Amino acid sequence: MTLIHRIKALNERASGLDALERRRAESAKLQQLLAQARPMNEKLGTEIQQMRLLHDEGINAAPDSSSAEAARKTLARLIKRFTENRTADSLTKGRDWQLLDDQAKATYQKLTDSLKDAWSQFVSTAYTGESPSNLERSLAVTDRNVDQLRLYKQTHTQLNVLARSRPQERGDFARVRELARQLGEIYQRFDFDVPEAVKRFLQAVADGGADLDLLTEEVRGWLQQQGSSGHYRIVARTGSR
């Protein structure tokens, strides 16, 4: 091989190495852009799965689509540019790359808020009965009511915990419906048919002690009818009130 041929071969090899280095550098730039886009893409994918889960249960959670439509148009421009020139610079040229990121974030936030509201509304409409605090103010403090109210509070709390979370599977919807059914059954077991005089007496006992003038004949008769007159005893109050 002549010297000229050797120089030519070395030059071709150097050119090949230079092209390889450029491709590596370009690949690194594209990988960097991909790493920037991947987290939001995954988050949007998770929310879309949630939307489908709600849709399968008959719940429409689709938000306003304006930001998503704007993002699709921006993405179409980026794809067209990249098809014509497969470089990272073609993607980051101008404002479209940053604009797409902003539009994707706006779409994600709208979708997240819509899904949260849809799930919360589903839980709140599954059971529309009274809150434990409202019931506690209106119920007579009978043994049965106290027991049932404790169970009602526990079940109501479980429902509220579900409302503050997000559904992960269809079983979560069934769980909400089951808790709502249980609350309805517990509510039916409350004793609302209690005379006002008895309510005042029982509330005073619960608050620390009832005066004798609250122990009327009506109250005594009701206590005897319930078989609970032996649950109470008269104790002299010590000290001044």
Domain ranges of the chain: 3-126, 127-192, 194-241
Closest CA to 113 of 175, 51, 71: 51
pLDDT value for 202 = 72
Task: For residue 240, give both structure tokens.
Answer: 């001044």
Is the dihedral angle over the CA atoms 64, 70, 73, 79 positive or is it negative? negative
Instruction: In whole angstroms, give the CA distance from residue 205 to residue 108.
Output: 55
pLDDT value for 162 = 94
Other CB atoms within a 10 A radius of the CB of residue 187 amount to 15
pLDDT value for 109 = 94
pLDDT value for 102 = 93
Q: Residue 139 in contact with residue 118, Cβ under 8 Å?
A: no
pLDDT value for 241 = 46
Other CB atoms within a 10 A radius of the CB of residue 179 amount to 21
Chain centre distance of CA 101? 25
Residue 230, SS3? helix
pTM more than 0.85: no
pLDDT value for 49 = 93
Other CB atoms within a 10 A radius of the CB of residue 107 amount to 23
For helices 96-126 and 143-164, angle between their N-to-C axes, nearest 10 degrees: 160
N-terminal to C-terminal alpha carbon distance within the chain = 119
Q: Residue 163 in contact with residue 124, Cβ under 8 Å?
A: yes
Closest CA to 115 of 159, 62, 66: 62
Per-residue pLDDT of the chain (241 residues; tens, 9 = 90+): 565 555 555 566 656 655 567 778 888 888 898 898 899 989 999 999 999 999 999 998 888 888 889 999 999 999 999 899 888 888 898 899 999 999 999 999 999 999 999 999 999 999 988 889 888 877 888 888 899 999 999 999 999 999 999 998 999 999 999 999 999 999 988 887 778 887 777 777 666 677 877 878 887 887 777 766 666 667 766 554 4
pLDDT value for 16 = 62
Instruction: In whole angstroms, give the CA distance from residue 47 to residue 53.
Output: 10
Is the dihedral angle over the CA atoms 151, 155, 185, 128 positive or is it negative? positive
Query: For residue 88, what are the contacts with CB-CB under 8 A and spacing of at least 6?
Result: 26, 29, 30, 32, 33
Other CB atoms within a 10 A radius of the CB of residue 37 amount to 15
User: What are the CA-CA distances from residue 61 to residues 22, 85, 107, 116, 166 (Å)?
Assistant: 47, 39, 13, 9, 13
